[in-house]
Structures are given as structure tokens and as C-alpha cells.
Amino acid sequence: MEFSWIRTFITAAKTGNFRKTAEHLFISQPSVTVHIKQLEKELGVQLFQRDGKRVKLTEAGSKYLNHAIHLTEVYEAGIEDIKTFSQGFTTKLTLAISPLIADTIMPFVLKQYIKKHPEVEITIEIVESKDIEQVVNEETVDIGLSCLPSFHPDLMNQLLYDDKVVLVAPHDGIDFEAALPLDEEEILSSNRLLTHNHPGYWDALIQNIKLFYPGIQMMKVSQTHITKRFIIEGLGVSFLPYSTVRKELLEGKMIKVDIQSFLPPKANTYAIYKFDHQKQREFLEFISQYHL
């Protein structure tokens, strides 16, 4: 049995048409017919029945389809595994990282991990925090780095970092050393507050802010990097995790405003994983050494 026959069978089952199958696989239509006939001869059953120009799976064909897909997956996984081994990798680690966490020192931490563990092949998926629990549970990834904790009974949840949240405003151009501290009330009363750029703390924070500034104007901006761009352009101010604005503060693109009226929240980073295997433990032990 040849895998080309199985690929042709799976494609024909999906398209329901031998001509479309030929176009999809870049082979001739007679080749499609030959592949299907050879596979039917090998299995001793009829896989398709004709319905005009279309073909439909027989009962035997429907039963064999799942096996064919599984065979293909095993075959392709074997090829990928041997390629990984030939490139010097012995372990593969797939991570789901929220866009907000990817905007912290996490790239630096990953670089240090790769230097120390060159035998590990790292794959990164950028996934919103609200969806990370699902991809971990489905075993699409090995570990999720999320701004939200997991409450799934089959998953493990570890707090990695807690980051202070700071109020940042556009730099006013005045020399930092000579300037007076920015006034919280003036900043929040005269600027639009850019909200919901973090999935963890905004609902409670807004309630707190409205107690002191009931007339404050707000605008939802769902992405941190867009929020930062808007602040730099003078479109508003926001409460952001310090780790995400540290660079902009050092470069003088933003300025931090001290809050006296209430205690700002914390922004947490969680590791979510399904299996407590060695590769998960080693990775989490390594990144836990760093502080946001």
C-alpha cells in the first residue's frame, strides 16, 4: 500500500469529485482513478459510488476514512520527528503566549532559555488569554502563559509573576528633572482614559476610578501596543502593567503619574499546563528565575 493512494482517497472523500481531487493534488484525473482502484483492490472493498459527476463514500469507505486520516497523521508525525532529530533537537515545547505577555521581557527570557537549552525546539503560538485554557486542555500546546488564571479541573495553574500597574500619560516635553510631579486629578479629569487593554483588572479598576472621578471619559482599546501608541500620540492615558511600558518610560515617550486616591491593581502572569512532565517543569523553573 502506498501513501499516495491514501492521500488521494482522503482528498476525494473531502471534495466528492475526482476532477477537483486531481486539481488539488496536481495529478491527472486518470491517476486519481488508478489510486482509488489500487486501494480498493488492496482493501478488498468498494470505497466510492458514483452519483452523476460526484462520488460518495460507501459504508465501507466511511468506515475506512478515519483509519486513513490516522495513518496519515502518524506518517507525517514520524517525518516531522525525524527531521527535528536530524536538526539537533531532542525535545519540542509548544507555548501559547498572550499578546500582552509577549510585549514584556518574555522575548529576552525565551532567548536565554534557548541559549541554555539548544536541544529544545520552541514553537510559539500567540493566543488571547481568554482562549489559552482551551488550547492547553486540547493539548495543542504544552504550556500557556496567560494574564488570566485557569479554573479548569483538568489543568494546573501556577502564578509566575505579579506586576504593578501604573498610570501613564504622554510625555509633556518638560525635562523630567525640572518638572513638577504630574497631578493625578488633573491628568484623569483632562484626558480620556483608555481601558480594557488587559483582561484581568479593568472591570474592578473602573469601579474604583468612578468613585473618585464619576465624570471621567473612557475609550476601550483592546490591544496594549495600540494603547501605548495612542498614549504617545496624545489620545489619552491608561493604567498598564509596568513591564509593558518600562521601555517607553526610559525612552521618555511616556511619564508615570503617581496615584494617591486608591491602590492600583496587580497584573498577574500565570502558567497553565495539563501535564507535569519534565519539559514543563524545567521550563517553568527557568522562567521563574526572572522578574518582570
Model confidence pLDDT, tens digit, residues 133-172: 999 999 999 999 999 999 999 999 999 999 999 999 998 6
CA dist 147 and 88 (Å) reads 33
Model confidence pLDDT, tens digit, residues 234-280: 999 999 999 999 999 999 999 999 999 999 999 999 999 999 998 89
What structural domains and CATH numbers belong to the chain? Answer: 3-83 (1.10.10.10), 91-161+268-287 (3.40.190.10), 163-265 (3.40.190.10)
CA dist 190 and 216 (Å) reads 8
CA dist 200 and 60 (Å) reads 51
pTM higher than 0.75 for the full model? no
Model confidence pLDDT, tens digit, residues 70-97: 888 887 777 776 665 665 545 889 999 9
3-state secondary structure of 186: helix
CB neighbours of 172 closer than 8 A, spacing ≥ 6? 179, 182, 255
Q: What letters, b where the CB count within 10 A reaches 16 and e where it falls short, cover 191-210?
A: bebbbbbbbbbbeebbeebe
Average predicted confidence (pLDDT) for the chain: 89
CA dist 147 and 139 (Å) reads 19
